[in-house]
Amino acid sequence: MKLHPVPARTGLQWVRLGATTFLRQPLAMAGLFFMFMATVSVLSLVPVVGTLLSLALVPAATLGLMAATREAAQGRFPMPSTLVSAFRAGPDKTRSMLVLGAMYAAALMLVLGVAALFATEAPPPPALPGGAEVSAERVRSMFSSQGLWAAMVVYLPVLMAFWHAPALVHWHGVSPLKSLFFSLMACWSNKGAMLVYAAGWVGVFMLTGLLMSLLASLLGGTEALGIVLYPLVLLMASMFHTSIWFTFVDSFEAPDGPGAATTGEHA
């Protein structure tokens, strides 16, 4: 297993492949993502322990969605059992995935701790009547928060370290600690492609939001928009998660690994 540098323009290809693969199996991919979100929501109802468990399941769920994307890209229908692929690969890999999940939960607690440490005591901006809209003042207040920016600085290396880690543990048998190192190095080596990839998805989400705003203005109200907004956000999030698989297979050279590079097999 070796790192595979890719040009920056590959980031846009990852976005395109994620979208097209999702559209091949939209019900399956969206359904699996909804199952994960529902599980996390139920667990989060349990104080403290539930939150930690939901965070610890994120690497395993990410792996499950990547395995589902692999199935969809190869023309197969991802079954619900694909979501728990991380726990069906034997006791050793299951144990490694649980360790990785515990490390992720601990890292997120650290990020939240940093955010709380740098958070200011300024009162929140006043809410609009009815609380249905988000004011520009509220948005400015959020982005001027020192805690938010401190958390983002700390979370970025955490995100890079855990980006490929579940796949490395599952498909390559890498230990949890080494998987974090290899993932961090892969993201850094392909930082140009990752930046283009992130910018591409930001553009997709912004364009979708703009179209929804235009639709709401044409309809003359926001009630219908509110009904479809949350499901649309979940659909877009599941489409984004579909693209993660392609960032992995293009970032590592592994002839006997989970699949060939996206530039041939899946294009």
Q: Tell me the pLDDT band of 140, cut-offs 50, 70 and 90.
A: low
Report the domain count for the chain. Answer: 1
Closest by CA position to 14, among listed 257, 196, 208 = 196
Q: What is the per-residue pLDDT for 141? A: 55
Query: What is the reported pTM?
Result: 0.82
- Which tokens go with 246? 């392609």
Cα separation, 170 vs 63, whole angstroms: 8
Contact predicate 75/43, CB 8 Å: no
Token match 């959020």: residue?
A: 142
Query: Residue 137: pLDDT above 70?
Result: no
pLDDT at 103: 96
Which residues have C-beta within 8 Å of that of residue 113, sequence separation ≥ 6? none
pLDDT number for residue 257: 45
Domain that holds residue 188: 2-126+135-265
The percentage of the chain sitting over the pLDDT mark of 70, rounded to a whole number, equals: 80
Question: Mean pLDDT over residues 218-228, rounded?
Answer: 63
The answer to whether the beta carbons of residues 56 and 104 sit under 8 Å apart is: yes
Question: What are 82-117's pLDDT values in tens digits?
Answer: 999 999 988 999 999 999 999 999 999 998 888 888
pLDDT band at 222 (very low <50, low <70, confident <90, very high): low
- Residue-wise pLDDT for 23-52, tens only, equals 999 999 999 999 999 998 898 888 888 889
Task: Supply the DSSP symbol for 86.
Answer: G
As given in the structure block, the two tokens for residue 213 are 């705003």
Q: Which two tokens stand for residue 255?
A: 């002839």
